[in-house]
Chain A
Amino acid sequence: MSGTFVGMPAFPRAAREAVRDATLRGNLRHATHTIRAKRAKAVAEVSDWAQLREAGKQIKDHTLRHLDHYLVQLEESVTAAGGTVHWAADAAEANRIVTGLVKETGESEVVKVKSMATQEIELNEALEAAGIRAYETDLAELIVQLGKDRPSHILVPAIHRNRGEIRDIFAREMSGWGRPAPEGLTDTPAELAEAARLHLREKFLRAKVGISGANFMVAETGTLVVVESEGNGRMCLTLPETLISVVGIEKIIPTWQDLEVFLQTLPRSSTAERMNPYTSTWTGTADEDGPRAFHLVLLDNGRTDTLADEVGRQALRCIRCSACLNVCPVYERAGGHAYGSVYPGPIGAILSPQLRGTASEIDASLPYASSLCGACYEVCPVAIDIPEVLVHLRERIVEGGQVVRGGNKVVLQPAKGHAAERAAMRAARWAFSHPGALRTGQRLASRTRRLHPRTLPGPGRAWSGTRDLPAVPAEPFRDWWQRTHGKGGPALPRTTPGAGTPAKDSAADKAEDKGGDR
């Protein structure tokens, strides 16, 4: 398996392979069901969850509406506190800045706190190309890095691995990166955690450069916040002499007080805890405590393009808790890799195609990686209406239209693969506005129903490949209605008939709208 997402197949193909992997499905089912129940309990403990969720949504929306203002304010406050602020319009620029900063220190290795932003820009690969070795220090990231694997979950990137697989990876790979795994390592989680502790400790103690992301940046104070569990974050944030944080511009919150909302909602949504074991906050540099140099790299990389979409911009409220992954029936079965992005699951399905655009096969297929059941919206601590954005993105892919890419307005052509869908919709529109033709067609369909194939021919095959065709009834609803209720049957309240349209057709159409024909 490759370490990057380049050239990923479209979601349906990747998912089809994933669902055949019984081990993967077992691992995912176990993990997601464990966390679902715990999250529900942690959320039920606070009676004002709905109010906290609404406040979180409002804070993020307000910030996004005034993002330029808060970015400038943040830059001022971080600089005043002794930090240096850099701006990166895209991944390449961010990688260039970070690589340059590491080189300036003269070091050839760095320790990293788990960070979605640095995964997104593939910083490790860029550092490696410059001769700098990046050590991932989060346990799950370590498992992914040692296993030459890809992350499959926002919070627990190695969720697709069970304890036995992790034991094997540690025993096989640790020696190539530093201290080998202890002899006779078993698969108990405590022993695996101990092996990671021993392996990483020598790296923490000698590290001169740390690289992190951040969960929040407070504009008014210039404070950065990292929420974590293991203590690897604290190690990377306090022991090195130089700290470089790469943070997406949407991670800003206006005030220190705003943390009171997110420090209550994030841990409960994420690991289902009242509070995560460690939260670190720092404001620039502190005298003789922690790094002497602090660099903040503010990352755009598609975020302003996302901000330009009136419906899609709500995805920028995301605080990366991963609750939506854990409840998603599609994620539970397909796993994270099928989404072809560091952002898998429901949030990934709306974030990746907006950050990267929909030019690639995988990105154009992501808005369809959902049954639109809405469980993700229900659990989201900042109330992102993921189904709404999914439908919006589907429409944009099928119909085309104006979007912003790289800061420029471009017009998307309707996607080629959806020609049959568009044709079908056009035909349906015509049929529903011509009742006579519809009736004839329905009768014909009923009479020939024994001859119908199980799958559609031609371009329709892709659609029917993953769906059962609806069974056609022996008698169309209208005929049944005419026979049982028509002449002399019970009277129905009738709407005013349109000019030239028989009243009985109008009533029948109404019944059909309610799905009475199924």
Chain B
Amino acid sequence: MSSRERILGRVRRALADVPRGDETPPAPERPGRYPPYERAVTRDYLREHGDRTPAQTLDLLAGNLADYRAVVHRTDAGHLVEVVAGLLVSRGSSSVLVPPGLDESWLAGSDVRRIADRAENTPHELDRVDSVVTACAVAVAETGTIVLDGSPDQGRRRITLVPDHHICVVRAAQVVPSVPYALERLDPARPLTWISGPSATSDIELDRVEGVHGPRVMEVVLVD
């Protein structure tokens, strides 16, 4: 008998006391549509905490990002170019990683050397790049979280991991109030990275310290 059969057999015997039958739901057709299962769990928790206008939601995102030591810059579409250029200058970056589908105009104000995100780049090469600029898929106000999904304007997961400085541009329309709204917008088939502030650890005396393996400086440019 294979271990697969052995384990499944043990599970079925272990559950002999539980009434079975109709209750077992069929495989779902697609995420989120699963009536028999939806009835099995009481979901009377809140979709979001509090009642906010879109502007207040943006403020909350900015506040929560800053609370976990991300550096937040608020601007409008007209000034985005100079803000991004200014951040690269003040960081003293000489090179910047650019995902293939990034809006080219965002970097138009900067003459920093651009490095394309390509499959051939080795981790060691990425380690020599100073900064990375990306867009995002979704931002979550209640938790101060940016989610990347590997779309062309965000690039491979490793480009936002190895360089020490990450500039992420968030547009107002991408901001959702809470985790339930974020999951609804995201495609589970894509590799996702949820980022809430720069890399941190609580491993020394259970006290939070920023800056371990991921980018130690996380700058979020919030465009409204």
Contact = CB atoms under 8 A, between A and B. Distances in A.
B3 to A, nearest CB: 4
Interface stretch (A69-77, A418-426, A471-479): A69-77
A307 B11 CA distance: 7
Contacts of B206: 31-32, 34-35, 156, 159
Given A220-B27, A274-B143, A308-B14, A166 B204 contact: yes
Contact of A277 (B17, B23, B214): B214
Interface stretch (A256-264, A344-352, A494-502, A505-513): A256-264
A232 B189 contact: no
A67 B11 contact: yes
A238 B161 contact: yes
Interface residues of B, number: 81
A241 to B, nearest CB: 11
Contact of A273 (B11, B68, B183): B68
A192 B15 contact: no
Contacts of B203: 138-140, 143, 156, 158, 230
A22 interface: no
A67 B40 CA distance: 15
Contacts of A229: 199-202, 212
A194 B211 contact: yes
A163 interface: yes
Interface string B113-150: 00000010001100100000000000010111100001
A230 B202 CA distance: 9
Contacts of B37: 62, 254-255
A88 B201 CA distance: 32
Contacts of A35: 202, 206
A394 B201 CA distance: 38
B216 to A, nearest CB: 8
A205 interface: yes
Interface in A1-47: 27, 30-32, 34-35, 45-47
Interface in A299-328: 300, 304-305, 307-308, 310, 313
B53 interface: no
Contact of A163 (B6, B41, B157, B205): B205
B9 A407 contact: yes
A205 B124 contact: yes
A448 interface: no
B179 to A, nearest CB: 5
A260 B180 contact: yes
B57 interface: no
A392 interface: no
A220 B43 contact: no
A65 B184 CA distance: 26
B144 A275 contact: yes
B213 A87 contact: no
Contact of A34 (B7, B127, B188, B207): B207
Contacts of B150: 286, 289
Interface centre among B12, B142, B162, B184, by most chain A C-beta atoms within 10 angstroms, is: B162
A262 to B, nearest CB: 10
Given A274-B143, A278-B193, A307-B11, A193 B183 contact: no
Interface string A323-367: 000000000000000000000000000000000000000000000
A71 B157 contact: no
Interface stretch (B28-36, B73-81, B85-93): B28-36
A166 to B, nearest CB: 6
A256 B183 contact: yes
Nearest to A58: B41
A438 B193 CA distance: 69
Nearest to B50: A47
A278 B183 contact: no
Contacts of A223: 188
Nearest to A289: B156
Nearest to A306: B14
A193 B200 CA distance: 9
Interface string A147-170: 000000001101100110010000
Interface centre among A55, A69, A206, A238, by most chain B C-beta atoms within 10 angstroms, is: A238
Contacts of A205: 123-124, 127, 162
A283 B15 contact: no
Contacts of A308: 10, 13-14
Contacts of B2: 87
A137 B203 CA distance: 12
Nearest to A270: B202
Contacts of A234: 157, 161, 193, 213-214
What 10 pairs across the A-B complex have the smallest Cβ distances?
A231-B214, A231-B213, A304-B10, A308-B14, A275-B143, A279-B194, A140-B203, A230-B212, A51-B45, A307-B14
7 contacts: A48-B45, A204-B213, A275-B145, A275-B196, A288-B156, A298-B7, A404-B13
Given A76-B27, A258-B41, 14 more contacts: A48-B49, A65-B23, A67-B15, A68-B11, A75-B4, A156-B203, A159-B205, A190-B210, A234-B213, A277-B200, A277-B214, A279-B194, A283-B190, A283-B191
